[in-house]
Amino acid sequence: MSEWKEYKLGDVINLKRGYDLPNSKRRPGIYPIVSSSGITDFHKEYMKLPPGVVTGRYGTIGKVFFIAEPYWPLNTALYVTDFKGNDPKFIFYFLQSFDFEKFSDKSTVPGINRNHLHTENVIIPQVPEQHAIVSVLSSLDDKIDLLHRQNATLEKMAETLFRQWFVEEAKEDWAEKSLSSIADFLNGLACQKFPPKNDLEKLPVLKIKDLSSGITENSDWASTNVKPEYVVKNGDVIFAWSASLMVKIWNGDDCILNQHLFKVTSPFYPKWFYYLWCKYHLEEFIAKAASHATTMGHIKRGDLDEAMVQVPSKNELNEMTLTIQPIMDKLIFNNNQIRTLTTLRDTLLPKLMSGEVRVERPEL
C-alpha cells in the first residue's frame, strides 16, 4: 500500500476565483458556464483551463463539479488551476468530502475565501493509489450515468408512443374525460402536525425539493401514525402542484406525503396512462401557474378538471399496456439500481477519502 501524507491544501491544488461574465456580454454557444451551483448556461467562448474541478465560492457552498470539456467559471465559483501532479478526478472526489462549511462566513449569502482553504491540513495518498480510488468511484458513477441516459431514452420512447396513440392517431369514438376523473389526486399533509413520537415509528417527509435531490439526512421526519394512503412508496406517481411543477415516479424509500404534492393513483386505469397524461398537460399547467402566480405559482383542482384526456376502449387500452408497460417497468427497475449504486458510492466515498477503506492499483 502507498503512503498517505499530510499537506496543506494549497500544496495539493491551487484554487482561483472565476471570472465575471455579465448577461449583456453572454453570447449563445456550446461551452458551459459554471457557477457555484453547476452549469447554468452556455457561451460561445471559454477560458483555457485544465480539466474542470469547480466548487462554490459565493452563494451555494460545498457542491463540487467535474467539467471534462472547455468551460467558463463564473466569479461565484472557485476552480482548480493547478493539480500539482495529482489525479484531477481524485481531487474532484476528495473535495466532495471536504468540509467547506467550516470556512463559510455564515452570512445571509454565504461565501468562502480560497486563501483560507489553502491553509487547511489534508491527508491524501500517493498518485498510484489515487488512480485506484478513482477507478472504483468512476466505475460506479459511469454505471449511474448510463442508467440515467437509458431512462431518458425510455421516457422518450414512452412519450413518443403516447403521442402517436393519443395525438396523431386518436379515434373520434374515444371518450373524452377530465384528468381529475381518471385518477385520484391526493394532496399531502401539513406534516409538522404529525411529529414523530419515537425513533422507530417515523418516516422522512417528502417535499418538493426531494423529488429532485432525494431524501437526505437533513430531511424532516413525521410520525407513521397517518392514514396509509399518505405513505409514498417506490414507484408511486407524485405530482408537485406548487412552485416547481413536475411529475415524477418516486424512486426512493418509503416516506410521508407533504402538502403541495399530489400522490396520483387510479383503481381503473394503468399507471402509465395517468402518468403520461399528467406529463402531457404539464407545460399547460406551468403556463397557468405562471399566469395567476402571486408569490408562488401553483395549479388548482379546477385546472385538473379542465385538462381533457382521450380514453380508448378497454381492449385497446389493454393492447397499449402490453406494449408500453415493459418500458415503464424497465424505467422503475433502473431507478432502483440508480438508488442502490448511489447509496454504495456515497457510503464508499468518505471511507476511501479518509483511508478507512484502502485500494491498491493492480500490478501490470
Q: Is pLDDT at 115 greater than 90 in this prediction? A: yes
- Please report, rounded to a whole number, the percentage of residues in the chain having pLDDT higher than 70: 97
pLDDT at residue number 48:
85
pLDDT tens, 126-160? Answer: 999 999 999 999 999 999 999 999 999 999 999 99
Q: Which of 228, 262, 256 is nearest to 242 (CA)?
A: 262
β-strands 221-223, 202-206: how paired? antiparallel
pLDDT at residue number 264:
97
Cα gap 303→66, rounded to integer Å: 41
Q: At what angle do helices 88-96 and 127-163 cross, to 10 degrees?
A: 80
67 φ, ψ (degrees, to nearest 5): -115, 110
pLDDT at residue number 293:
54
Assign 364 a pLDDT band (cuts: 50, 70, 90).
very low
Among 50-54, 114-118, 119-123, name the one with the lowest average pLDDT.
50-54
Q: Is pLDDT at 297 greater than 80 in this prediction? A: no
Q: What is the mean pLDDT of residues 223-242?
A: 94
pLDDT tens, 34-53? Answer: 999 999 999 999 988 888 89
pLDDT at residue number 2:
66
Say if CB 321 and CB 105 are below 8 A apart.
no
Mean pLDDT score across all residues of the chain: 92
pLDDT tens, 245-277? Answer: 999 999 988 999 999 999 999 999 999 999 999
Q: Which three-class secondary structure state does DSSP give residue 66? A: strand
pLDDT at residue number 280:
96
Q: Is pLDDT at 363 greater than 60 in this prediction? A: no
Say if CB 239 and CB 261 are below 8 A apart.
yes
pLDDT at residue number 20:
93
Q: Is pLDDT at 294 greater than 60 in this prediction? A: no
Q: Is pLDDT at 213 greater than 90 in this prediction? A: no
Q: Is pLDDT at 350 greater than 60 in this prediction? A: yes
Q: Is pLDDT at 296 greater than 80 in this prediction? A: no
Q: Is pLDDT at 24 greater than 50 in this prediction? A: yes
pLDDT at residue number 361:
62
List the 77-82 sheet strands across, edge first: 14-17, 77-82, 52-56, 64-67
Q: Which of 44, 96, 114 is nearest to 72 (CA)?
A: 44
pLDDT at residue number 278:
96
Say if CB 158 and CB 324 are below 8 A apart.
yes
